Amino acid sequence: MPSIISYNVNGIRAAIKKGFWEWLYAENPDIICLQETKAHTNDLDFTITQPESYHAFFHAAEKKGYSSVAIFSKEKPLQVAYGCGMEKYDAEGRFLRLDFADFSVMSVYLPSGTSGDERQAFKEECLADFLPYITELRKTIPNLILCGDFNIAHQDIDIHSPKTNKNSSGFLPQEKAWMTDFLATGFTDTFRYLNPSSQAYSWWSYRANARINNKGWRIDYLLVTDTLKDKCLSASILPEAEHSDHCPVKLVLS
């Protein structure tokens, strides 16, 4: 039963200092998609770029210490696609895809709009571009798994205080509507599909003891094309992993 994890590590070197490797090898996923690695491969030790038991791939932002994604896979992929072919997003290291015989896995890090109007506009531009990009990709890759930080809490159940956050980036009406429309094109939110009434979060602010008080947001997703929906055995959130302000999300497939 293959297992896939998605994890925004908020700096891979910082996560390693907090016990990331020990956790990873205990969890032992077949594939782990990372976001916000915040590192160029030439700045990383070989123990990170060539981890034991895994093939490792990285797509870094041009700006050092910013954004960037990676995927570690036990099985060697048939093909690796770095970026999405749109320079403004690829310069920020937001997409990385591995193709296997029966499916493809993509590490996705959609922009945050929390720093102000300019980045919120960039985020919404990216959302508008991402849907047709994925729609076109699915013509040749029908079995696709999107793993990552979408920076959107989709529904009231996915956020600790929906009323007070109704005007917050990540929970704006247009963002929630985008997620609804995106799923309607033929994707399943695996955690919500298998845990329809579970209120669990994958990100907490560093402020005001948010994690201790479990005042969080579910913004990290494992989305599968509906062609893979019936193969989903379990989907879980792993808050006990504390290497980041996010925690990992996990999917087990048959």
Domain ranges of the chain: 3-253
pLDDT at 146 over 80: yes
Report residue 78's pLDDT band, with 50, 70 and 90 as the boundaries. very high
Pairwise CA distance, residues 144 & 106, whole Å: 8
- Asked whether the beta carbons of 217 and 185 are under 8 A apart, the reply is no
Pairwise CA distance, residues 159 & 152, whole Å: 10
Segments in 110-221 forming alpha helices (H): 117-137, 173-184, 190-194
Active site residue 230: no
Nearest CA to 203 among 215, 185, 195? 215
Considering only residues 106 and 41, tell me which one the structure prediction assigns the higher pLDDT: 106
User: Residue 156: its pLDDT value, please?
Assistant: 98
The percent of residues in the chain predicted with pLDDT above 90, rounded, is: 97
Averaged pLDDT for residues 1-13? 96
- Asked whether the beta carbons of 64 and 40 are under 8 A apart, the reply is yes
- Residue of 149, 158, 189, 220 marked active site: 149
Report residue 188's pLDDT band, with 50, 70 and 90 as the boundaries. very high
Nearest CA to 26 among 3, 48, 45? 3
pLDDT at 150 over 90: yes
pLDDT at 64 over 80: yes
Report residue 1's pLDDT band, with 50, 70 and 90 as the boundaries. confident
User: pTM value?
Assistant: 0.97
Active site residue 226: no
Report residue 248's pLDDT band, with 50, 70 and 90 as the boundaries. very high
- Residue of 7, 54, 89, 109 marked active site: 109
3-253 is classed CATH 3.60.10.10: yes
